[in-house]
Chains A and B, each alone.
Chain A
Amino acid sequence: MAEIKSHIGTQNKKGQTYTDAWKMMHEAPRNPSFYTGSEVIKEALRRASCDVMIAYPITPQSEAAALIGELFAEGYIGDYFRGESEFAVMSQCAGAAFGGARVFTTTAGPGTMRAMENFPMWAGARLPIQMIVTCRGINSPLSIQPDTIEISYLLNTGMLVWHAETAQDFFDWILKGFMVSEEPEVHLPLALCCDGFFVTHTKDVVNLTPADMCLPPYDPYRSPVPCMDMECPPVRMMRDPFIMKSNYISYATHASWQQEIWAAIERSRKHTIKWINGLIDTENTDAEVVIVASGTAVSQGREAIRLLEDEGVRCGLVKVKSLRPWPGEEIREATKNAKHIFVPEFNVTGWLAKEIKATIPNSERVHAGPHVCGGMTMPPEIIASEIKTALGLRSESLAGRGS
């Protein structure tokens, strides 16, 4: 068998040049373009040297999935098809990744939930699949509107989980995400999440890398597990009595296997920090009031900070970019001066506030809110109002318009 050679500098069948990923993302010229989030997903994929994309329609990711179909028709994606359901899609993604392909898919809301069984399987099998999650409501009565509750279900699957705020984050992190998750000591799937509609269906100026440059192809021979082989674990273990054995050795193997997945998440820390420039971004964290948020709640928080500044209230901001690996140390450091920590979220349970409370000392400083859910918007005024109320400042009621 021929040894794997570097592809850098050579061209693919579309005439794109395989480019060193760091140079492509950090040194290549950028072209400002006015795109929706869905279009940005397509443009990132155009440059991703993706072997397989598997699609299934569910709002709000359907548009992105369809646009990637156009990329396939243009010859930029190795293979593309529609699965029978989200569960089937994620299983088919596993099959393609087991075979050594760079695999990409998109899902949302109830689709994420339907496919859930596959995600710990992906992580356990060390498959570096990238999945875009355009978050929406998941419960009955049905809602297709933005809601980030599904992220909380992904946090303990063993996947890497990042939460993009903007379409620019999205473009950059799709490409950078492959670089992190395909590192041999990481080699885990990535759930790259955004707030549906707010990011996918709004237009923004996004600086794109040149379309004639693309990522180097995935090299499956650097994988920490062999390419698909029915005689190898995990497949062999699943059809062996090993899965049923009740003895110390069997338990120890399964336990060690699980530990290895979470060790790989820890190993991703240094690569994630390098590629997305830290697990968090911070502004003015010497202030006594700090907003900690992820996704578009960061944008709303930023706007609330501007409103508060007009009223003489100084407020810091922590943008949480990566949820797995979890930036525990970074958040402890960024909030060490804060007397009040506000965590605005687009979900009913406040999962980010719970994570933060479990991370920092004196967790009574955390105000878990404001929360909105089910598709409600979160005006910056309600964040500012909640902060002012907590500080004992006068705040006008925003709930009603009665006389």
Chain B
Amino acid sequence: MTQYRVLPGPEHFLPPAAASMGIYLPNPGEAHINGVIVPEEKAYEEAARQFLMAQVPTIFPGPLVLWAWNEKAAKKAAAVRKLYEILKECVQPGQKPMLIPMPDYRPKYPKINPEVEINPNHPNLTIWHNKIDCCMFIGVHCHQANLSLKIIRGGTSCYTVAMCAQAGHEDAMLSFRDASVEKILKLGEWIRKLKGTVKPRLTTAKTSASN
């Protein structure tokens, strides 16, 4: 059993891939928090708590839900929008929920516009610029999501959540697997349920020190 835990960074000059440190992906019906396998229900509660605690809770939808390439993707996109609306309803004054897309995976030159998008090759730029302290990836191809999650863990203190349609992500601090419309909306229900019970952080993430 590994002692390694997937925690908010900045972790290291080059943080290791969590899988290489002995972290395993959850089986169906499970999730992981900090690399520890938990029942999925517990992960909903923790993800909702992290969102409500964050000063800038942010959803990063990727190409698999941004483009209506099949009926399921369109439904997921609507569910993501609903989740964002719920988040806006449930946060307290001073908190600033954001919805920033990852439309594609091309490195952006001469510089990404961090106010309108995030990119897997330099995701830290968007996180630093907007002082994002909790984010959720959804609809990002797994390889690109892992790339981003490692770089975020390396250079920022942002708490990362993955709502993965496949097997999940060890490099996120919290990961669901087999994401569906129902699971996205269930997270929204948990955010509503915990509304007003979680005290938001008063200061921004440690990342501001790295700017």
Q: Write the residues of chain A forming the contact surface with B, with a CB cutoff of 8 angstroms.
A: 1-3, 126, 183-185, 187, 222-226, 231-233, 236-237, 240-242, 249-250, 252-253, 255-257, 259-260, 262-264, 266-267, 270
Contact = CB atoms under 8 A, between A and B. Distances in A.
Contact of B17 (A2, A252, A263): A263
B81 interface: no
A263 B107 contact: no
A308 to B, nearest CB: 37
28 contacts: A3-B70, A126-B143, A185-B166, A224-B142, A224-B143, A224-B146, A224-B166, A225-B143, A226-B141, A236-B105, A236-B107, A237-B107, A240-B109, A250-B121, A252-B151, A252-B154, A252-B155, A253-B107, A253-B147, A256-B150, A259-B17, A260-B146, A262-B17, A263-B170, A263-B171, A264-B19, A266-B19, A267-B19
B42 interface: no
Contacts of A249: 121-122, 124-125
A252 B14 contact: yes
Interface string B124-164: 11000000000000000111101100110011000000000
A185 B20 contact: no
A226 B63 contact: yes
B72 interface: yes
A18 to B, nearest CB: 21
Contact of B106 (A126, A231, A256, A267): A231
Given A1-B69, A242-B121, A267 B16 contact: no
Given A249-B121, A260-B143, A232 B150 contact: no
Nearest to B19: A263
Nearest to B68: A1
B141 A224 contact: yes
A3 B106 CA distance: 26
B104 A231 contact: yes
A270 B24 contact: yes
B77 interface: no
Nearest to B144: A225
B17 A184 contact: no
A242 B121 CA distance: 10
A224 B17 CA distance: 16
Interface of B: 14, 16-20, 24-25, 63, 69-72, 104-107, 109, 120-122, 124-125, 141-144, 146-147, 150-151, 154-155, 166-168, 170-171
A298 B170 CA distance: 36
Nearest to A223: B141
Taking chain B's interface residues, is the majority helix, strand, or loop, or is none over half, making it mixed? loop
B66 to A, nearest CB: 13
Contacts of B63: 226
A259 B20 contact: yes
Given A3-B72, A252-B151, A253-B122, A233 B17 contact: no
Given A232-B104, A249-B124, A260-B143, 9 more contacts: A3-B72, A183-B167, A226-B141, A233-B107, A250-B121, A257-B147, A259-B16, A263-B18, A266-B20
Contacts of A266: 17, 19-20
B107 A240 contact: yes
Contacts of B167: 183-185, 267
Nearest to B149: A256
B35 to A, nearest CB: 13
A260 B150 contact: yes
Contact of A256 (B19, B107, B141, B151): B151
A225 B72 CA distance: 19
Contacts of B166: 184-185, 222, 224
10 nearest CB pairs, A to B:
A224-B142, A263-B17, A263-B19, A224-B143, A184-B166, A259-B17, A185-B167, A266-B19, A242-B107, A253-B121
Contacts of A236: 105-107
B150 A259 contact: yes
A255 B20 CA distance: 14
A260 B120 CA distance: 13
A194 to B, nearest CB: 29
Contacts of B69: 1
